[in-house]
Structure 1
Amino acid sequence: MNPKSMQRAPKAALLGAGALALILIVVIVLLVTGGGGDDGSDQAAAPPASSTPDQTQEQPGGNAAKATFEGDALPNYDLSSTRNAKGSKINASNVKSLKSKWTIALGQESQSQFGSYASTPVVVNGVVYSQDLASNVSAIDLKSGDVLWTKSYASPDQGPNGVNVGGGKVFGVTADSAFALDQKTGKELWKKELIRNAGEGLDMAPGYYKGLVYASTVPGNNGKFYGGGTKGILWALDAETGKKVWKFDTAPTKTWSKNNEEVNLGGGLWYAPSFDQQGNMYFGVGNAGPFPGTTEHPWGSSRPGKNLYTNSVVKLNAKTGKLKWYYQATPHDLYDWDFQNPPILATVKGKPAVIGSGKNGYVIALDRANGKVLWKRAVGKHNGHDKDPVYASKGQYSKLALNQEIYPGRLGGVIAPASTDGKLIFVGVVNNSVTYTANEKDAAQDSQTSTGELVAVDLDTGKIKWAVNYNTSVFGSTTVSNDVVFSTTFDGQIHASDAKTGKPLWDQQLPASSNSGVTVHDNVVIAAAGLAAGQGQTPSIAAYSLDGK
């Protein structure tokens, strides 16, 4: 974004969502990376006996000041990734009084081939920090909507990107590098290239914890998606200098076929990790590829085995990068089922737990100490293919077939982060199928119809408490504000629902279609409409406040 491309719009009636039948646009927006599913064993694993090569110590950490956090200074609201807007004044009794506060149109300079916006803004001391899909960063006055400064990168990526704020700095990534900006002025303080080749990219909001910044590559970028020989590597960088401190290979080649290293690919992070008070970090990892395979190597046979650490929740020591444990939701993934969402740190029946979710359509609670499964819940539509990756990994190819409709498809499952109020977990679901006509991703035929759900899952038991159905997909993350849960649907609607019952409380039409969640701060809701999917739609960032004040 830049001041010229971000023109404030009046508090006028907002435009309709338009041609939602253009499902191909949804495909473009959501091919942001792949993975997740049923592992057939529900077993967590400690580091292998020879685990140290998976994690490389490079340089000692610097003397960066201890990280400080103010307001919604993280894209997941807190280090536990709860997306719970604590301190918000918005609740079930007053949410209906939300009115338009300001709207900023996103210009051509904001766009990649995946739209204009796919992140969650953060708010610190009355300033909104925002990143568009061209990697440009802007600071916006929360009260007026005026742009205070902009740092332009013109580096289009796939998203979901975004920034993290702490220690007087704004941290983010471009399509090939991580960077730090001065929080007050937007001046670039450092920039570090992280990709290994032209087929890799970055497209996440980085993590920030105790003087370290965490950013991961992914096996794809705005120009090339999921080519062979690409992978996700998580880097820890010194927050003061950008110096590389350690790295963790999320798809280590030692567990894959050396003969097909230029064919295989996978791993990487979509979102900022979560951090506990003991100095550990937790993150979800993307899928393995090629998927379902290739003509020469069908059903992933070019990459025999589990393909660690793809489709997993991983726990590391945040300071050193040492592996503590991992839980793989889908060994040997076939269908682009990432287990990508930032794990929620919460308690299950009084026990510290990690709640993971992903495109396999599962929400899974794990014991935080050892990664063992506490409960596992399928959400959304499944139609009998959850164990296909297990069959493939065992060479049971007679149980697999092409030209079958598969739920969840590669655009389905739990696409975006969930939230929690400490009792329930609020999950957005996409019901979309895929049919593979050949053993390659380009032979995928995604369903031309797609529906969504908002599902509330009991934190202690994993039982579904309530569910709300929508006519279009829930591509954005959910957010909790007191007894209200906010969600967005692809038709450009913001939905506010009663957190206890799912009852609709307030709806608002955005200026364009949306695949982003909302930010709630004090008495303000900020939502992005990042994709013009119909005539007359204007990609925008919109703010609503109680009584428009």
Structure 2
Amino acid sequence: MQRVPKAALLGAGALAIVLVVVVVLLVAGGGSDNDNKNAAAPRGGATQKQGNGDQGDAKPDASAKPSLTGSALPNGDLSNTRDMKGPITSGNVKDLQAGWSLALGQESQSQYGSYAASPVVVKGVIYSQDLASNVSAIDLKTGEVLWSQQYASPDQGPNGVNVGGGRVYGATADSAFALDQKTGKEIWSRKLIRNAGEGIDMAPGYHGGLVYVSTVPGNNGKFYGGGTKGILWALDAKSGKKVWSFDTAPTEKWSKKNEDINLGGGLWHTPAFDGSGGMYFGVGNPGPFPGTDDHPWGSSRPGKNLYTNSLVKLDAKTGKLKWYYQVIPHDIYDWDFQNPPILTKVKGRPAVVESGKVGYVVAVDRATGKLLWKRAVGKHNGHDKDPFYASKGQYSKLRLNEEIYPGRLGGVIAPMSTDGKYVFAPVVNNSVTFTGQDKDQATDGQTSTGELVAVDLDTGKIKWKVEFPTPAFGATTVTNDVVFATTFDGVLHAVSAKTGKTLWEQQLPASTNTGVTVHDNTVIAPAGLAAGQGQTPAIVTYTLNGK
């Protein structure tokens, strides 16, 4: 899972190249007309203006069209639809006007920028986490910081918080935590990593009195070292006590003698929850990749390498496996299947839609995990079957020094959204050329473009596509008939959900790898990457008619 400026970021893998590649790929964004009216978040607890409202149990189906105003969930609802209701439509989106701007200072930064989360809003208060794991409560109307809990624990992202039961749930680079929603005071903290090579970078799930947080096989110091893996933990929401765990990469089943070499799995994003006790999540890739000199093409880890590159359904209360769908076995190219699954319907049938860096969007039956349709998006150039060849030992069909699409920074890196008719996927077209078996013996393409693709939920066919000059590293968000997307050059795009026609664009104060949150008449747009001269990372807002 290679990371780049995130929020969408990449998966787990070679990390070192990130900002270097980013600067090369950047089409420098311009400045902002917004004044930075508020300084960076103050330290320590502060006053509060919000109530306790636990609105974490939103209705699960996109087809039910629940009102998400006040939703406390990172992806809008328990179904991860990112379909957020409010007055913004294709007819008035052009009337959005700049509101307040909150600077993201040095204390917000990791080596991957300042921000990679989807802020959540409850009763007029934004709950926000930066890439140093610091959490703030911010007044939606004014941008005033109400309280801040400082952790100074940089991670790679994507991260973020979840709110429910009067608590704010999040994670640092090594521990899950709960804060008092009114004051920001820490209630509990639970260390989850097993060794110094593991980390955490996701917004927790919260449902039914449990908090769900996964480790990943890497952190800011090292990524994808042997003997690391992603383990999903269910924690008691009130105490942080460990209730159950699920090993997303049981490496002892791949090869007991190579457990110290093999690694993988983990979650990047919040699981989805249905109304029948089921939870769904996507899993990152295995490693080492492509392999090692002694074990080329992943031969240290023979077989499918479950449950990597898979969509998994568990019983949310017990952690018992219900089913899995593996999009590609024995991955050798860092093709995570990592995005938050979307619960929706396909031809009236309850379904789950998932995507990832592998460059596919798939729909499966929610009850059985049976594939309903599978659609390639973005650029592919004939290497999709390479992992299958590797799993069968057909190494003569595999070659180093070949350009591969999608690359480590390509595919569908960020969360999708749906309006119940189409699913809107942000795509990155970037290649990689492996010159050796080590993940760091690779050259990423020096050009990178983006796409926004609308896929018909019933058929899996592409309805329309918008092409961008820079990568679409940020999640999409839909409200009524408007789809919001961001590109790495710091441009916020609003397009028609029906046609893909551009309705409105805005230059953010810095580059971004983060999508936006829509709450009522307000668009909250983090821009967390100072990748060009004069750029100032900040969270900015836009409101209808400036009100």
Q: Same fold (TM over 0.5)?
A: yes
Quote the residue 2:12 is aligned against. 33
- The amino acid of 1:365's aligned partner reads A
Greater shift in the superposed pair: 93-102 or 68-77: 68-77
Quote the residue 1:83 is aligned against. 82
Distance 1:497 1:454 in 2: 10
Distance 2:71 2:128 in 1: 12
**Compared with structure 1, are the counterparts of its residues 293 and 28 closer, same or farther at alpha carbon in structure 2 (3 Å cutoff)?**
farther
Partner residue of 1:121 out of 119, 127, 145: 119
Quote the residue 1:201 is aligned against. 199
Quote the residue 1:535 is aligned against. 533
Correspondence list, 1:273-288, <5 A? 273-288=271-286
Distance 1:386 1:510 in 2: 36
Quote the residue 2:500 is aligned against. 502
> Contact 2:4–2:10 (CA<8 Å) still a contact in 1?
no
Distance 1:514 1:74 in 2: 21
RMSD: 1.6
> Contact 1:32–1:160 (CA<8 Å) still a contact in 2?
no
- In the TM superposition, residue 426 of structure 1 has moved relative to its aligned partner by 0.3
- In the TM superposition, residue 330 of structure 1 has moved relative to its aligned partner by 1.3
Correspondence list, 1:435-454, <5 A? 435-454=433-452
- In the TM superposition, residue 254 of structure 1 has moved relative to its aligned partner by 3.2
Partner SS for 1:96: helix
Distance 2:259 2:4 in 1: 32
- The amino acid of 2:374's aligned partner reads K
**Compared with structure 1, are the counterparts of its residues 371 and 210 closer, same or farther at alpha carbon in structure 2 (3 Å cutoff)?**
same
- In the TM superposition, residue 521 of structure 1 has moved relative to its aligned partner by 0.3
Distance 1:291 1:481 in 2: 39
- The amino acid of 1:79's aligned partner reads L
Quote the residue 1:74 is aligned against. 73
> Contact 1:28–1:114 (CA<8 Å) still a contact in 2?
no
**Compared with structure 1, are the counterparts of its residues 328 and 32 closer, same or farther at alpha carbon in structure 2 (3 Å cutoff)?**
closer
Quote the residue 1:131 is aligned against. 129
**Compared with structure 1, are the counterparts of its residues 105 and 286 closer, same or farther at alpha carbon in structure 2 (3 Å cutoff)?**
same
Correspondence list, 1:113-262, <5 A? 113-262=111-260
- In the TM superposition, residue 72 of structure 1 has moved relative to its aligned partner by 2.2
- In the TM superposition, residue 392 of structure 1 has moved relative to its aligned partner by 0.3
- The amino acid of 1:185's aligned partner reads T
Quote the residue 1:6 is aligned against. none
Partner residue of 1:405 out of 403, 406, 414: 403
Distance 1:68 1:418 in 2: 20
> Contact 2:56–2:73 (CA<8 Å) still a contact in 1?
no
Partner SS for 2:440: helix
Correspondence list, 1:337-416, <5 A? 337-416=335-414
- In the TM superposition, residue 256 of structure 1 has moved relative to its aligned partner by 1.2
- In the TM superposition, residue 258 of structure 1 has moved relative to its aligned partner by 1.1
- In the TM superposition, residue 253 of structure 1 has moved relative to its aligned partner by 2.4
Quote the residue 1:418 is aligned against. 416
Quote the residue 2:322 is aligned against. 324
Residue-by-residue CA offset, 1:63-87 (whole Å, 9 max, x unaligned): xx9965671210010000000002x
- The amino acid of 2:243's aligned partner reads V
> Contact 1:292–1:440 (CA<8 Å) still a contact in 2?
yes
Distance 2:357 2:229 in 1: 19
- The amino acid of 1:502's aligned partner reads G
Number of aligned residues: 496
- The amino acid of 2:74's aligned partner reads P
- In the TM superposition, residue 127 of structure 1 has moved relative to its aligned partner by 0.2
**Compared with structure 1, are the counterparts of its residues 453 and 282 closer, same or farther at alpha carbon in structure 2 (3 Å cutoff)?**
same
> Contact 1:102–1:145 (CA<8 Å) still a contact in 2?
yes
> Contact 1:28–1:113 (CA<8 Å) still a contact in 2?
no
Residue-by-residue CA offset, 1:215-252 (whole Å, 9 max, x unaligned): 00000001111111000000000000000000000001
Partner residue of 1:488 out of 486, 489, 498: 486
Quote the residue 1:41 is aligned against. none
Distance 2:414 2:421 in 1: 20
Distance 2:213 2:250 in 1: 17
TM-score for both structures, normalised by structure 1: 0.89
Quote the residue 1:44 is aligned against. none
List runs of 5+ in structure 2 lacking aligned partners: 15-53, 59-68
Partner SS for 1:389: helix
Correspondence list, 1:40-51, <5 A? none
**Compared with structure 1, are the counterparts of its residues 255 and 25 closer, same or farther at alpha carbon in structure 2 (3 Å cutoff)?**
closer
Residue-by-residue CA offset, 1:416-475 (whole Å, 9 max, x unaligned): 010000000000000000000000100110001100000000000000000000000000
- The amino acid of 1:77's aligned partner reads G
Distance 2:79 2:56 in 1: 15
> Contact 2:252–2:259 (CA<8 Å) still a contact in 1?
no
> Contact 2:13–2:439 (CA<8 Å) still a contact in 1?
no
Residue-by-residue CA offset, 1:464-516 (whole Å, 9 max, x unaligned): 00000000000000000100000000000000000000000000000000000
> Contact 2:11–2:284 (CA<8 Å) still a contact in 1?
no
Partner SS for 1:440: coil
Greater shift in the superposed pair: 256-265 or 234-243: 256-265
> Contact 2:7–2:116 (CA<8 Å) still a contact in 1?
no
- 1:520 partnered with 2:518: yes
Distance 1:523 1:114 in 2: 30
Residue-by-residue CA offset, 1:511-539 (whole Å, 9 max, x unaligned): 00000000000000001111100111011
**Compared with structure 1, are the counterparts of its residues 462 and 350 closer, same or farther at alpha carbon in structure 2 (3 Å cutoff)?**
same
**Compared with structure 1, are the counterparts of its residues 483 and 31 closer, same or farther at alpha carbon in structure 2 (3 Å cutoff)?**
closer
> Contact 1:352–1:368 (CA<8 Å) still a contact in 2?
yes
> Contact 2:6–2:514 (CA<8 Å) still a contact in 1?
no
> Contact 2:272–2:280 (CA<8 Å) still a contact in 1?
yes
**Compared with structure 1, are the counterparts of its residues 453 and 28 closer, same or farther at alpha carbon in structure 2 (3 Å cutoff)?**
closer
Partner SS for 1:442: coil
- The amino acid of 2:124's aligned partner reads G
**Compared with structure 1, are the counterparts of its residues 417 and 25 closer, same or farther at alpha carbon in structure 2 (3 Å cutoff)?**
closer
Distance 2:7 2:238 in 1: 36
TM-score for both structures, normalised by structure 2: 0.89
Distance 2:262 2:273 in 1: 31
Distance 1:366 1:183 in 2: 37
Distance 1:502 1:210 in 2: 38
List runs of 5+ in structure 1 lacking aligned partners: 1-23, 36-64
Quote the residue 2:262 is aligned against. 264
Distance 2:249 2:398 in 1: 25
Distance 1:362 1:400 in 2: 21
- The amino acid of 1:33's aligned partner reads A
> Contact 2:10–2:357 (CA<8 Å) still a contact in 1?
no
